[in-house]
Amino acid sequence: MTVKALNKLDRLEKNLERAAPPTFSQNSIFGTGEMAERTRAFDWSQTSVGPIDQWPEALLITVNTMLATRHPMFLWWGKNLVQFYNDAYRPSLGADKHPRALGQNGIECWPEIWPIIGPQIEAVMTSGQATWHEDQLVPIFRNGNLEDVYWTYGYSPVRDAGGKICGTLVVSTETTDRFLAQQRQLTSQEQYKALFKLASDAIFVANLDGRVTEANHAACKLLGYTRAELLQLSYADIVAPSERPRLWSARDTLLNGGVSVEEWHLVAKSGSSLATEISAAILPDGRWQAFVRDITSKNSGNAPLVDAIIAMAKSLGLATVAEGVETEAQWQYLKTRDANQVQGFLFCRPLAIVDLQRWHADWLHSHQSDAASVA
């Protein structure tokens, strides 16, 4: 072989040496963080996977990838399901399992949940069947207690270059806080729905245009509509015409926050007027809610007194004059009792019925005595 040929061969060998990638037996665990440090320092020779410099390429790549990601990940490897996990997964283990879970066999680490996860892992390891679970309850021993822990997780097979399944990779997120908050919200909504249906006060819910979107049984009973009929109406349809101008200004005030408690006059399906006290607010979702209490009977709560006064007036042939009327309902009530002039409440102060009866009896006795004297 000529000198030229030898020089060419020498250069080729040097180029091959520079180009050849390092073998994985020469590599190690990369990255920083607690679990990278613990994985490097762990005596893997005491486990079935052996020391790091003897790990198969698939294991080394998977472990380094797992340690480099910020998403919670966990790995079971080999027939003993030797365990690896990253920094993001560590908080879910608690003080009971971390750090001893590293390098531990799966069934030794998770005896309390093996009936749940064992068959899932076996399906992955034997048939390559991946799994996915959302908000799955998997109770674990953590921080000295058996805790109800919810997870969203998936198990996937890890294969070597020949396609053999060597491990199970877990990508998971603990969802306990979110799931329980969601359950509390659902419970609260169910309780609200129950209270909504059973409340003795009428409850209306409308959009910001006033269109009624929900009404309970008491609301239907108060106004005499079916629920389907109420859902075709707006607040402007059920308040008295004289109240409509203040309806929208009241809404605009509520949009600035707070709750209003005011008296309103509503019109029932029959056309009758109702005096009501309404507590209204804009809900966080933008709906306009109103709790409605009928106070018609409250405003005419002195009905026996009014009846007694009007009866006395009629017996004397006198006209009845009222002063200080506060609501339309009072006006309507007095008119149905044949008060000839209605300007307000009858008299200026309330009188007990027994007082009126005694007053009436004394007046009649005096009137009869005067008539006898004249005769």
Sign of CA dihedral 190, 191, 192, 193: positive
**68 close to 32: Cβ distance less than 8 angstroms:** no
Look over the chain and give the mean of its residue pLDDT values, rounded to a whole number: 79
Lowest mean pLDDT among 64-78, 124-138, 337-351: 337-351
Cβ-Cβ contacts under 8 Å for 26 (sequence gap 6 or more): 53
- Indicate whether 22 pLDDT > 50: no
Which string of b and e fits 219-251 if b means at least 16 CB within 10 Å?
Answer: bbebbebeeeebeebebebbbeeebeeeeeebb
Element (H, E) at 184: helix 176-198
Which residue in this structure is represented by tokens 């009858």? 346
More confident residue, 142 or 267: 267
More confident residue, 82 or 289: 82
For position 350, what pLDDT does the model report? 39
pLDDT in tens, 202-219: 889 999 999 999 998 989
For position 322, what pLDDT does the model report? 46
The pTM (predicted TM-score) of the whole model is 0.50
Q: Residue 341 phi/psi, 5° resolution?
A: -130, 130
Q: Which two tokens stand for residue 217?
A: 């049984």
Cβ-Cβ contacts under 8 Å for 78 (sequence gap 6 or more): 48, 49, 166, 167
For position 226, what pLDDT does the model report? 94
Lowest mean pLDDT among 37-41, 76-80, 91-95, 197-201: 197-201
Percent of the chain with pLDDT over 70: 69
> For the residues 101-114, what does the mean pLDDT come to?
94
For position 182, what pLDDT does the model report? 85
- Indicate whether 68 pLDDT > 70: yes
Confidence class for position 366, pLDDT limits 50, 70, 90: low
pLDDT in tens, 286-338: 889 899 988 876 655 555 555 555 565 555 555 554 444 444 555 555 555 55
For the chain, domains (ranges, CATH) are 17-179 (3.30.450.20), 199-294 (3.30.450.20), 300-358 (no CATH)
Amino acid, single-letter form, for residue 48 = S
More confident residue, 123 or 139: 123
For position 337, what pLDDT does the model report? 52
pLDDT in tens, 219-265: 999 999 999 999 999 999 999 998 888 899 899 988 988 788 889 99
Element (H, E) at 236: helix 235-238
> For the residues 348-371, what does the mean pLDDT come to?
52
Asked if the bond preceding 139 is cis, omega within 30° of 0, the reply is: no
Cα 162 from chain centroid (whole Å): 50
Which pairs with CB-CB distance under 8 Å and at least 24 residues apart come from 101-110? 102/35, 102/38, 102/39, 102/42, 103/42, 103/44, 103/46, 103/47, 105/80, 105/81, 106/76, 106/80, 106/81, 106/82, 107/81, 109/83, 110/140
The span from the CA of 208 to the CA of 289, in Å, is: 10
pLDDT in tens, 47-59: 999 999 999 999 9
3-state SS, 78-135, equals CCCCEEEECCCCHHHHHHHHCCCCCCCEHHHHCCCCHHHHHHHHHHHHHHCCCEEEEE
Confidence class for position 130, pLDDT limits 50, 70, 90: very high
> For the residues 120-129, what does the mean pLDDT come to?
94
